[in-house]
Amino acid sequence: MCRSGQQPDPYTTDGVEKSNAAFTALLEDSAEELYENAPCGYLSTLMDGTVAKINATLLGWLGLEREAVVGRMRFTDFLTVGGKLYHETHFAPLLRMQGEIGGIALEIRQAGGDRMQVLVSSAVKYGATGEPLLIRTTVFDARDRRAYEEELLRARRAAEEARRQAEADRARLQDALAVLQQSLLPDTLPSAPGLESAAHYRTASPDRLGGDFYDLFRLDGTRFAFFLGDVCGKGPQAAAVTSLTRYTLRAAALHDPDPVSALTTLNKVLHERYTGGDPRYCTAIFGVVAPDPTTGRATVRLASGGHLPALVLRADGTADFLPTPGGLLVGVLPDAPFTATDTVLDPGDTLLLYTDGLTEARTGEDRTDLYGAEALRTFAARHAGKPAPAVIQALAELLDDFGDKLDDDTALLALGTPAPAPDTTKLAE
C-alpha cells in the first residue's frame, strides 16, 4: 500500500504490471489500422497501374473516396502532366528493369486543383515462379523538404547574384582606378632630336591605386626635365600625394630647373602640407637632360631624394649605378640637403630609372629572396647598347615573368641617345 496522495512506485511489482498494461494498450492498433493511418501513403497496383489497394492517408492527400479509386483509377491518374510524362519515360522503365526504384520526386494532383510534392518509392512483388504480380508504392509528403530545397535554391541564386554584382562592382572599380591611375601619369612622352625615351608602369593590384610616378617634359628648345619616384603608402591618400608631387615638380622646374632646387621646393611643400598626425613623404629622382643632335651625346644633371640610384647602360655592353650622394626622403624634414650629380650619355647609352617594386620582387620557391639591385644590373647589362624602348620592353617582360611575386607597383623610365648608324660605305667595301 502507498500513503495517501502518493503515486505507486513504478519499480514495484504493481507498478511494472501497470506500465506493461499501458504499453499494451498503446500497441493495440491492428496492422490494418497502422496501414490505413500511417504517416505516409501506401498504394498497391496491378502491373498496368490499376489501383488495387490504397490507404486513408493517401486518399486524404488526394481528396478522393476509396470507391472512386480502387479498381477505377491508375497510379498515373494521380500525377500532374509532367509527372505522367516522367513516369512513362523514366519511372516505369526503370522499375521494370530493376524491380524497385526509390526516392523519386513527383507531384500529385489534389481534388481542389493544388499540387503536392511527394517522394515515391516502388517495388515489384513477384510470385513463386518469378512472375510479377503487383507493385507496392510508398508516397512521402515532401512539401516541407521541397520548401527547404526551394529556400536553398533561392539562397543560392541570391548568393550567385550577389557574387555577380560584386564582380561587376569590382570591374567598375578597377576601371575607375585605372582611369584615375592613368591621370597621374603622362599620356605620352615628348620626342626630341637626339633623345630616345620610353616608360612603363605596372600595378601590383588592379584593386588599389599605386603611389609610383614618372614624367618627362620640355623645358625649352634644348632641355627636358624628368623625374621618377615612389610615394609612401597606397590608395587614395597616396594618389593625392602623387598628384601634388607631380604638379609641384613641374611648376618648380619651370621656375628653376636645377634638380636640387626642384627637390627642395617639393620637400618644403610636402612637409608643410602634411605636418601633423598623417605625415606623407616620397622618394624621387629629378633631372635635366640636354641632347645634342650634332654630337649624338646628351648631358644629364640629376639629384636624388632617398631614391634608388639610376643605372647607366653603356653602348659597350656595361651597366653601372650612377652615384647620387646624400639625399633624404622628400618631405620628412623641414630642411633636407640634396646634392646634384652629372653624367654624359654617349651615342647608344641609356639612363634607366626604376622604383623598388622591381628590385623587391620576391623570388625563390619560398618567396623570401628579393630580386635585388645586382640582379637588375646584370640583367640590364645584357641589354646595354639597345635603344631605350627595347630596354623598357625587356624589363616589362621581366615583370610579367615575376607574376604574383610583385608586391609593389613598378615605374620605369629610360632616356637614351641613339646609337650611330652603321657606316654603309665600309660595309660596301
pLDDT in tens, 319-331: 999 998 878 899 9
The one-letter code for the residue type at 25 is A
For residues 229 and 239, give the distance between their C-alpha atoms in angstroms, rounded to a whole number. Answer: 13
> pLDDT band for position 1 (50/70/90)?
very low
Question: What SS3 string covers 317-385?
Answer: CCEEECCCCCCCCECCCCCCCCCEEEEEECCCCEEEEECHHHHCCEECCCCCEECCHHHHHHHHHCCCC
347 to each of 144, 284, 287, 292, 319, how far by Cα in Å?
83, 26, 19, 10, 15
Neighbours of 302 (CB within 10 A): 24
Spacing of C-alpha 202 from chain mean position: 18
Task: Pick 144 or 267 by higher pLDDT.
Answer: 267
DSSP alpha helix (H) spans, 51-102? 56-62, 66-69, 81-86, 92-98
pLDDT tens track for 156-187: 888 888 888 888 777 776 666 666 666 678 88
pLDDT tens track for 188-211: 999 888 999 999 998 876 666 677
pLDDT tens track for 217-238: 999 989 999 999 998 877 778 8
Task: Evaluate if residue 374 carries a pLDDT over 60.
Answer: yes
pLDDT at 369: 82
Task: Pick 353 or 423 by higher pLDDT.
Answer: 353
pLDDT at 2: 45
pLDDT tens track for 87-142: 999 999 999 999 999 989 999 999 888 999 899 999 999 999 989 999 999 999 98
Q: Which three cell numbers stand for residue 157?
A: 541564386
Contact 290, 222 (CB under 8 A): yes
Min mean pLDDT across 5-19, 58-72, 76-90, 216-230 is at 5-19
Angle at 62 between CA 60 and CA 65, to 5 degrees: 65
> pLDDT band for position 8 (50/70/90)?
low
322 to each of 237, 307, 313, how far by Cα in Å?
32, 12, 10
Q: Is 401 exposed, middle or buried (0-12, 13-18, 19+ CB in 10 A)?
A: exposed
Task: Pick 351 or 192 by higher pLDDT.
Answer: 351
